[in-house]
Amino acid sequence: MKKENFDVVVAGGGSAGIAAAIGASRTGARVLLVERSQAFGGQAVNSWISAYCGFYSKGSAPQQVVYGIGDEVLQRLKAHGENIAPTINPSTHNASIRFRPVVLARVLDELMLDSRVDYRLATSLIAATRGQDGRLQSVLIQDDEETVEVSAKAFVDATGNANLVHLAGLPTNWGGEQGEVQQASLSCLIDGLPAREFSVDELSKAIRAGRENGIEGLDVDRGMIVKVPEDSYGFLTMPSIEPENFGGKNLTKNMMTLRTKAWHYVQALSTYHPDLGHAKLLATSPILGYREGRRLQGIKTITGEDAAACRKDPHTIGRAGWPFELHSANGMSFKQIKENDWYDIPAEALMSRDCANLYGAGRLVSTDHLAMASIRVMGTGFASGHGAGILAAQYAADGQTDIEKVQKILKEQNALL
- Alpha-carbon span 234 to 392, nearest angstrom: 38
Say if residue 284's pLDDT is above 90: yes
The dihedrals phi and psi of 96, each to the nearest 5 degrees, come to -130, 165
- Portion of the chain with pLDDT greater than 70, in percent: 100
The predicted pLDDT at position 332 comes to 82
Say if residue 336's pLDDT is above 90: no
Q: Is residue 417 included in any domain, yes or no?
A: no
CB atoms within 10 A of CB 203: 23
**What is the CATH number for 139?**
3.50.50.60
Say if residue 230's pLDDT is above 80: yes
Write down which residue in 266, 284, 302 finishes a domain. Answer: 284
User: If pLDDT is split at 50, 70 and 90, which confidence band does 17 have?
Assistant: very high
pLDDT, one tens digit per residue, over 366-394 is 999 999 999 999 999 999 999 999 999 99
Residue 70 CB burial class (10 angstroms; 0-12, 13-18, ≥19): buried
The predicted pLDDT at position 89 comes to 81
Mean pLDDT estimate for the chain: 95
Residues 224 and 198 in one domain: yes
pTM attached to this predicted model: 0.96
Residues 111 and 171 in one domain: yes
**Residues of the domain holding 82:** 2-177+292-412
Residues 217 and 314 in one domain: no
- Alpha-carbon span 155 to 136, nearest angstrom: 8
Residues 260 and 317 in one domain: no
pLDDT, one tens digit per residue, over 112-132 is 999 999 999 999 999 999 999
The predicted pLDDT at position 343 comes to 97
DSSP-derived pairing of the beta strands 331-335 and 324-328: antiparallel
Find the helix or strand (DSSP H, E) in which 234 lies. Answer: strand 233-236
Say if residue 329's pLDDT is above 80: no
